[in-house]
Structure 1
Amino acid sequence: MDAELYKELVNKVKAEITISENADREIAIGFASCIAVQLDNDGKDYELCLSEICQIATTIANPSSKSRKDLLDELDDFEKKFDLSKPVSLLCADTDKVKSYVFGSAKLPEVRGASIILDELNKSGIEKIFSKDELNVCKECLIYYAGGSVMAIVPSCKAQEICKEIEKMYLNTTKVATITAIAEPFHLYEYCFGLNANNFSCEDFKEMWRKSDPKQKKIIRNYYDIKADEPSDKDLEDAFEKTKGFNELTRFMTNRLKVAKQNKESVPYFETGRFLRLCDSCQSKTA
């Protein structure tokens, strides 16, 4: 989708979504625009169903308005109706080795300056990327961006391009500091009810608990944060409801991001030779 068409789409979505709560409205706008972009990428006319898209996005932003089963069925039916497979991706990014960049110099003003550069990148830099209509994302897609970390929803067809854009911005600006960005597509109902929500119900969970041996129960207890020694059905239901939601996706992405950061290659720099001058600050890299 070209930049002008995307700008027009976002304006239409903003006019269509009329939630009074500002935070919910922004989330709904983000989801609606992502779904529309994915439909357009799949060769479908999103304008014919824009009202339905906005209605679904509003429901995702405020899932408590319906029962779990009704909402799960509604979101699943929507994906099947338009032949969509995981149209919205969750993007997470985190700055690499912050301390080695910030404290690359022993001089206090330069330490402060490096910290300010990273802080500026994480605020205005990320906002700038999520204001690029040509990337088909808007500021409403941002969930969180602070402290060197970013979380956002993006159209699945644009996810890898946006990840590369974020990583490129950090390296091009600092020449040394890097950020790791990953994205994973999820079903719409998974944003409300956690991983594999359509195939794993609370009854399935209780049955799994009853059939598990002590070793397996220890793993389940840790994952679902079950406190009671002999949990009742109500304890299990509460643990299931508490775990199976958006926070389960964030836990999944945090683990994936940690692995990506560990396996990431360091940015190379060349040792100074005869015709190169050492940096006055760090005395190790070339100036």
Structure 2
Amino acid sequence: MMLMPTVQLKSALAAMLGDELATLVIERESPERLKDAFQGQNRPLALVSFDVDRIKDFVFTSVKPMEIRGASEMVRELTDEESLTDESCSIYKLLGNFGLSKDNVIFAGGGNGLLIVPADKAEKIVREIELRFARRTKVGSCTAVWQKFYPHELLLGPDGGECQSKALPKGIGVIPALSGGSTIPFGKIVQLLGDRLQEAKREKIVRGNFPISGILKRCTSCGILPAWKEYRVGEEIDWLCEACYEKRLRGRKEIRSDEKELPEAKSINDIAGETAREGRAYIGVIYADVNRMGKMLSEMERIEQYHIFSETVTKVMEETKKDVVRELSLAGRYQSPVVGGDDVLLVLPANEVLQAVMTLSEGIENGFKQEGEKIGGDLAEKLKKLRIGVGFVIVPQHFPLRFAVQYAEELMRKAKELGYSQEESCIDFMVIKDASLLNSDIESLRRELYFKRWPKYGATIKLTKKPYSFGDFGDLLTDLGEIKTQIPQSQLFSVRSFLENDRPEVARMNIVYQYLRSEDWKDFLGSKYPSEPKNKWIDFFLEEDPKHPRNFSTRYLDLLEIYDFKEVSSEEVQTEDKD
């Protein structure tokens, strides 16, 4: 993704305002002079903001990977600079039709974007964005809004103005003036336009699905809309609704043209591959997002800073995702559906998830630092401070992908909550071995399963330490790798039963007994705590909170939860007790 230098932005502004006004907008040094220079001219600008509605519902309506791939490509097409066919919904194709160019794009990607255009063209551009996406996708929708600005208002904030979209009548939600003469960050103006976009989305009537008569076939892919057309591959016949039919055609077109370096999987079977565990195959879903991205963008002073920062973040996230695919040789064994914004979603073999999470987290942080060094200035410091939240879930192969993504997103949010308090990249995870859906949210489930109380003894055990900072999760994986090579599996699960069933003091005594009779545990813990105080090793299994006596926690069950999916060579795995 190309970064837009100031000269290109100035070129776009000059085409709309003339050289003098464009220079004053870029330099931001004299808003009053800019206001005076504009007097008598009637060439206002407009900011156009757009976003695909309910993007995850659109992408994951079908359970079939082919349709998910096709839906993702339709969303990508909206902001694809190379998609210039007549039927394309690309904003770049649309801008060309209005005599504009990519220089008018402040940012675009993941189904949303921000444009700066002549105000007299804004209403038609908004209408065309919405109509083209609806026509291309059959059931998808995109909301677009615009706000008129005179050049000085890009520095001082709008005095009031006009907004027109399909969802909002003219004049609704006018953005008030924000300051009395001093400049405000361009990001604040965009933030207010974003509020207007959300208002427009709420005002939209959500299209419902009417009950289908018993004499009509349902679509065999989404199971919601009536079947429209037969789709045949060999002897297999699917009856698809119009939307799923178009998604499948697009997905198959992408697969047939997948001569690129990193082709995606054609089916869930391609992803699951050889990840059979306990007679079943598993897949992993990783969801990653940048912490406080909205806050950072709202603090951007200048238009070009806003563009460079947002495009750099998207570039780092996308390129790091590709690096993970290359490093783990995942070509043909993964999918990366679009989920909006700069979020990264990866569906991949379960036995690759742990390494992928580490590679992705480390690569993104390093990418921000490296790009910051190239850019320099204030943006460099902001990029270096960026951290991410990562959630991942491992599920059986036939688990509904839409719900797996939902769980991974919820885990990502839990990781971000910890990241906000610690200013670190953080990770949360869950392994589901039953193909049925959870009957409660993850937080409620953890309270029910992982918090044990013994009121009579004034003691508690928290059977998890999730979520983890990036460093702590790396330590967990290191310990797991060593345990798999040094401790027989039979000894691991007896310790788990102590933690799950006994009150803390009894659990500790049973663990000490297990330790004293096991040379394997003695060797492992002796090397891990070589110079620690006597019995410090017990904290590996059950740690008491120094600030709250008789409140214990353990990460041991977290370690066992991902035990099956940590890759070590079969020769290294310890299977027998030492004599």
TM-score range, shorter chain: 0.5 to 0.7
Q: Which residue of 1 aligns with 2:37?
A: 78
Quote how far apart the aligned CAs of 1:116 are: 1.8
Q: Which residue is equivalent to 1:61?
A: 26
Shift of residue 201, structure 1, vs aligned partner: 3.0
Match of 1:114 among 71, 79, 90: 71
**Partners of 1:274 and 1:144 in 2: CA distance:** 47
Equivalent in the alignment of 1:87: 44
Distance (Å, rounded) in 2 between the aligned partners of 1:191 and 1:167: 25
The C-alpha deviation readout for 1:87-145, integer Å capped at 9, x for no partner, is 1011000110001111101122321221122112222311111111xx24222111111
Rounded to whole Å, the distance in 2 between the matches of 1:252 and 1:198 is: 10
Residue equivalent to 2:153: 190
Structure having the higher strand fraction is 2
Distance 1:281 1:147 in 2: 24
Q: Which amino acid aligns with 1:201?
A: G
Shift of 1:78: 2.2
Label 1:23 to 1:144 Cα distance change in 2 as closer, same or farther (>3 A). same
Correspondences of 1:124-203 after superposition (within 5 Å): 124=83, 125-132=90-97, 135-196=98-159, 200-202=180-182
Matched length: 200
Aligned partners of 1:34 and 1:155 also within 8 Å: yes
SS of aligned partner of 1:33: helix
Tell me how far apart the structure 2 counterparts of residues 271 and 27 of structure 1 sit (CA, whole Å).
51
Read off the aligned partner of 2:96 and give its amino acid letter: S
Q: 1:22 to 1:89 in 2, by over 3 A?
A: closer
What is the CA–CA distance in structure 2 between the aligned matches of 1:25 and 1:87, rounded to whole Å?
Answer: 20
1: CA distance between counterparts of 2:71 and 2:123? 28
Preserved CA contact (<8 Å) 2:58 2:140: yes
- Aligned residue number for residue 102 of structure 1: 59
Q: Deviations over 1:55-98 (max 9, x none)?
A: 221332233xxx3xxx212211122132x2x7101100011000
Over 3 Å counting, the alpha-carbon distance change for 1:272 and 1:72 in structure 2 is: same
Q: Which amino acid aligns with 1:151?
A: L
Between the two structures, name the one with larger relative contact order (CA 8 Å, sep ≥ 6): 1
In 2, are the aligned partners of 1:194 and 1:247 still within 8 Å (CA)?
no
For 2:199, which of 251, 259, 270 is the aligned residue? 259
Q: What is the CA distance between 1:273 and its match in structure 2?
A: 4.1
CA distance 1:200–1:146, change in 2 (3 Å): same
Aligned match of 2:15: 33
1:206-234 deviation digits (Å, cap 9, x = unpaired): xxxxxxxxxxxxxxxxxxxxxxxxxxxxx
Give the distance between the partners of 1:130 and 1:278, measured in 2 at CA: 39
Candidates 185, 204, 215, aligned match of 1:245: 185
Amino acid at match of 2:131: K
> Which amino acid in the other structure matches residue 29 of structure 1?
S
Greater fraction helix: 1
Structure 2: any 5+ residue segments left out of the alignment? 84-89, 160-176, 227-240, 242-579
Q: Distance in 1 between matches of 2:111 and 2:211?
A: 28
Question: Cα distance, 1:27 vs. partner?
Answer: 1.4
In the TM superposition, what is the alpha-carbon distance from 1:269 to its structure 2 partner? Answer: 5.4
SS in 1 for 2:152: helix
Say if 1:22 and 1:281 are closer, same or farther in 2 by CA, change over 3 A: closer
Q: What code does the residue aligned with 2:185 have?
A: G
Kept in 2, the 8 Å contact 1:34–1:137? The answer is: no
Residues 136-160 of structure 1, C-alpha deviations (whole Å, 9 max, x = no match): 4222111111111110111111111
Q: Is the CA contact 1:91–1:183 (under 8 Å) kept in the aligned structure 2?
A: yes
| Structure 1 pair 105–199 and aligned structure 2 pair: CA distance change class (3 A) | closer
The 3 A distance-change label for structure 1 pair 122 and 266 is farther
Q: Deviations over 1:10-38 (max 9, x none)?
A: xxxxxxxxxxx962122112222233xxx
Asked if the contact 2:52/2:112 (under 8 Å) is kept, the reply is yes
Q: Residues 129 and 159 of structure 1: is their aligned pair in 2 closer, same or farther, counting only changes over 3 Å?
A: same
Structure 1 gap segments, 5+ residues each: 1-20, 36-52, 203-240
Q: Letter of the aligned partner of 1:130 in structure 2?
A: L
By how many angstroms is 1:274 displaced? 6.4
For residues 227-246 of structure 1, the aligned pairs below 5 Å read 244-246=184-186
Secondary structure, in 3 states, of the residue corresponding to 1:154? Answer: strand
* Aligned equivalent of 2:389: none
Q: Specify whether residues 99 and 91 from structure 1 end up closer, same or farther in structure 2 by C-alpha distance, changes over 3 A only.
A: same
Report if aligned partners of 2:157, 2:178 keep a CA contact under 8 Å in 1. Answer: no
Displacement of 1:276 in angstroms is: 4.7
Is the CA contact 1:91–1:159 (under 8 Å) kept in the aligned structure 2?
yes
The change in CA–CA distance for 1:120 and 1:56 in structure 2 (over 3 A counts) is same
Q: What code does the residue aligned with 1:257 have? A: L
Contact 2:119 2:148 in 1 (8 A): yes
| Greater C-alpha Rg | 2
